[in-house]
Amino acid sequence: MIQRKQGKKFAYLAPEMQPILEETYGIIVYQDQVMQLVQALAGFSLGKAHEIADGLEAALGAELGVEVEIETHIEPLQMRGLSGRDAPNERVAAVRDALNAIAANIAFVGQVHDVRVRETADGEIVNFHCRVDPQLTVRDVHERVDDVERALRQKFPTIKRVIGHAEPRA
C-alpha cells in the first residue's frame, strides 16, 4: 500500500472497483469494501467474474511467489481438516452419478467433476465442480447450482452439506 501511496502504478481488475477501493489505493482493507465489491460485481457474467478471479490470483501470485497456492473461491466449510473420513469409492460414484443426473435436468449446468464426499458424525459433506454457460450472471449461476445442491440433499437425506463450484465452460 505504501508503494501505491507513493505513486507506484497499478491497475484495477475491473473499473467498477475503483470508486470502492480508491481510498485504500486498490487494496481491500475494510469488510464493507468486500460487501460493496460483491454488490458492484454481482451482475457480471460468470465468465467475467472468473476472469477477474484469475486476474486476482495472478496478481497475488506475483506478489507472494510461486511457493504459495492461491485459490480465490471462498468456502465456509473446508473438506480438509474436518473430522470424519473420505467416503468409500462406491459412495462417491453413487453421488457423482446422482449429480450428473440432476445437472442434466437443469439448464446450462453440466460436466460434473471433482466430486468429493466426506463422512462425518453429523452426516456427509459433498464438494463438487461443474461447468456452466459463461454468459450467465453470477446470480443465475448460483441459483442453478443451488438447485443441484438442494436436489442432491433431497435424494440423499444423509448428506448434511453440499458445496458446488461453478466453472465457465471453455
In this prediction the pTM is 0.60
Classify burial at 55, counting beta carbons within 10 Å of its beta carbon; exposed 0-12, middle 13-18, buried 19 or more.
Answer: middle
Amino acid at 109: V
Residues 130-157: tens digit of each pLDDT = 999 988 887 788 889 999 999 999 999 9
Contact in structure between 43 and 139 (CB atoms under 8 Å): yes
The correct CATH number of 85-168 out of 3.40.1190.20, 3.40.50.11540, 3.30.70.141, 3.30.70.1350 is: 3.30.70.1350
Residues 161-170: tens digit of each pLDDT = 998 988 888 7
Report H helices in the chain.
2-5, 18-21, 31-41, 46-64, 89-104, 138-155
- Domain boundaries for CATH 3.30.70.1350 within the chain: 85-168
User: Taking the CA of residue 34 as centre, how many other CA atoms within 13 Å lie in the half-sphere pointing to its CB?
Assistant: 4
